[in-house]
C-alpha cells in the first residue's frame, strides 16, 4: 500500500510539470468530434421481446448463453434512511458470478513526457454516443469472448504486464453504482509501458496527458465515468 501511494504521488506531480503534450487541447477536441461525425453507428429503441438472443426466464431477463448480465427484480423493505421509508421494488443488473471487469489505463513516455492512452468509445447508452474511456474497458464476459467477437484491444498489457514490458503502477478493485448494478465492481489498473517500441493505434485511440484528462473532465459529458474514476486516484 505504501509503495502504491508513493507511485500515485509521483503521478500526481505530472500535473505541475511544464507540459509537453503530443496533441494540443484543440487538436484533441477536433479529433473527438471528428470521431463522432464519422461514426456510422445508429441506435434505435425496440421492444424488449424483440431483443435477439435475450429471453424472459422465471425471475429475470437473461441472455441465452447465461454468460452476460441479467436483469433481476429486487424488493427493498424497511428503508428507514431513504426517501421512501416503506420500501420499493426495482430491477437491477447482475453480472455472472459478480465478476465485473477490467478498467485499464496505459501510461507511456512520449517525447520525454508521460502520456495516457484513451479510447473514444461507443456505447449505445452514451450521451453523444461516444465518450473518452480508459485504454481497456471490458467485462470478463467480453474478455472471454462470450460474444464471439474480437479480443479487446491492449488486453495483454493488463493481463500479462511484465511479458509486455509494463510495470503496474496502480491496481485496485472498486465498486460501481449500487442503485442499478447488483454488487458490481471493476478492477482498476494503471500500467506504465517502458518499451521503446511505438504502439500502433487505431483512429479512435489518442495519447493525452494527465492534465488534459483532468481538463476534459470539466467539459460537458466527454469523459466517461470509468476514466473519470481511474484518474480520481491521482
Based on the fold, state whether residues 71 and 11 are members of the same structural domain. Answer: no
Based on the fold, state whether residues 153 and 224 are members of the same structural domain. Answer: yes
Q: pLDDT category, 61, cuts 50, 70, 90?
A: very high
pLDDT for res 46: 94
> Average per-residue pLDDT in the chain?
91
Q: What is the CATH number of the domain that holds 204?
A: 3.90.79.40
Rounded Cα–Cα distance for residues 64 and 52 (Å)? 9
Structural domain span for residue 84: 48-94
Based on the fold, state whether residues 73 and 117 are members of the same structural domain. Answer: no
Backbone angles phi, psi at 13, to 5 degrees: -65, -20
Residue 2 predicted with pLDDT over 70:
no
Based on the fold, state whether residues 83 and 14 are members of the same structural domain. Answer: no
Backbone angles phi, psi at 216, to 5 degrees: -70, -25
pLDDT for res 39: 92
Based on the fold, state whether residues 119 and 175 are members of the same structural domain. Answer: yes
Based on the fold, state whether residues 168 and 213 are members of the same structural domain. Answer: yes
Rounded Cα–Cα distance for residues 112 and 88 (Å)? 55
Q: How many CB atoms are located within 10 Å of the residue 143 CB?
A: 17
- Is residue 26 helix, strand or coil? helix
Based on the fold, state whether residues 84 and 151 are members of the same structural domain. Answer: no
Based on the fold, state whether residues 88 and 192 are members of the same structural domain. Answer: no
Identify the domain boundary among 56, 71, 94.
94
Identify the domain boundary among 62, 94, 126.
94
Rounded Cα–Cα distance for residues 114 and 216 (Å)? 17
Based on the fold, state whether residues 156 and 175 are members of the same structural domain. Answer: yes
Residue 138 predicted with pLDDT over 80:
yes
Based on the fold, state whether residues 65 and 137 are members of the same structural domain. Answer: no
Rounded Cα–Cα distance for residues 164 and 120 (Å)? 23
pLDDT for res 98: 65
What single-letter DSSP state applies at residue 115?
E
Rounded Cα–Cα distance for residues 34 and 29 (Å)? 8
Burial label, 158 (beta-carbon count in 10 A; 0-12, 13-18, 19+): buried
Contacts of 54 (CB under 8 A, 6+ apart): 48, 61, 62, 63, 64
- Answer for the pair 88, 117: CB distance below 8 angstroms, yes or no: no
Give 68's strand partners: none
Over the stretch 88-102, which tens digit does the pLDDT of each residue have? 999 999 987 767 899
Rounded Cα–Cα distance for residues 146 and 94 (Å)? 16
Rounded Cα–Cα distance for residues 58 and 19 (Å)? 57
Based on the fold, state whether residues 24 and 122 are members of the same structural domain. Answer: yes
Based on the fold, state whether residues 86 and 182 are members of the same structural domain. Answer: no
Over the stretch 63-80, which tens digit does the pLDDT of each residue have? 988 888 999 999 999 888
**Mean of pLDDT values over 167-186:** 91
- Answer for the pair 113, 209: CB distance below 8 angstroms, yes or no: yes
Count: domains in the chain: 2
Amino acid at each position: 500500500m505504501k509503495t502504491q501511494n508513493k507511485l500515485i504521488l509521483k503521478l500526481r506531480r505530472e500535473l505541475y510539470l511544464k507540459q509537453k503534450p503530443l496533441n494540443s487541447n484543440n487538436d484533441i477536441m477536433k479529433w473527438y468530434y471528428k470521431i463522432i461525425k464519422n461514426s456510422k453507428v445508429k441506435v434505435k429503441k425496440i421492444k424488449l421481446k424483440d431483443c435477439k438472443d435475450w429471453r424472459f426466464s422465471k425471475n429475470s431477463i437473461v441472455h441465452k448463453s447465461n454468460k452476460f448480465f441479467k436483469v433481476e427484480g429486487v424488493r427493498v423493505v424497511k428503508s428507514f434512511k431513504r426517501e421512501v421509508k416503506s420500501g420499493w421494488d426495482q430491477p437491477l443488473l447482475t453480472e455472472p458470478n459478480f465478476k465485473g471487469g477490467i478498467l485499464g489505463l496505459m501510461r507511456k513516455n512520449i517525447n520525454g513526457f508521460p502520456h495516457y492512452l484513451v479510447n473514444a468509445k461507443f456505447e449505445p447508452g452514451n450521451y453523444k454516443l461516444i465518450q473518452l474511456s480508459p485504454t481497456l474497458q471490458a467485462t470478463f464476459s467480453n474478455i472471454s469472448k462470450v460474444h464471439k467477437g474480437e479480443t479487446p484491444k491492449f488486453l495483454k498489457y493488463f493481463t500479462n504486464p511484465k511479458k509486455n514490458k509494463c510495470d503496474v503502477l496502480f491496481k485496485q478493485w472498486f465498486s460501481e453504482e449500487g442503485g442499478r448494478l447488483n454488487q458490481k465492481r471493476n478492477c482498476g489498473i494503471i500500467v506504465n509501458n517502458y518499451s521503446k517500441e511505438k504502439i500502433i493505434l487505431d483512429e479512435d485511440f489518442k495519447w493525452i496527458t494527465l492534465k488534459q484528462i483532468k481538463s476534459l473532465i470539466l467539459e460537458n459529458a466527454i469523459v466517461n465515468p470509468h476514466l473519470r474514476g481511474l484518474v480520481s486516484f491521482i
